[in-house]
Amino acid sequence: MLYLINKVADIAVANQDAGLVIAAAIGTSVILWAIADAAAKLIKAARS
């Protein structure tokens, strides 16, 4: 996993525009995952 992060960082440094796109995509997916996770917990809590 660390190797993959370093590889992405190298690509981002080499091509900053692509790096920004990649960073935005990763950030967006993390935010969406967090929202989905919170929603799932709320639904479970509401049902119990």
Does residue 7 have a pLDDT over 70?
Answer: yes
- The dihedral of CA 35, 40, 43, 48: what is its sign? negative
pTM: 0.53
Would you kindly state where each structural domain of the chain is located, as residue ranges?
2-47
The residue type found at 37 is D
Beta strand ranges found along 1-48 (DSSP E):
none
Q: So what's the pLDDT on residue 12?
A: 66
- For 9-28, the pLDDT digits (tens) are 787 677 777 778 888 899 99
- CB-based contacts of 29: which residues, under 8 Å, 6+ apart? none
The token pair that represents 34 in the structure block: 């967090």
Q: What is the structure's pLDDT at 6?
A: 83
Half-sphere exposure of 16 (CA within 13 A, CB side): 0
Q: Is the pLDDT of residue 4 over 90?
A: no
Give every CB contact of residue 20 below 8 A, 6+ residues apart in sequence. 12
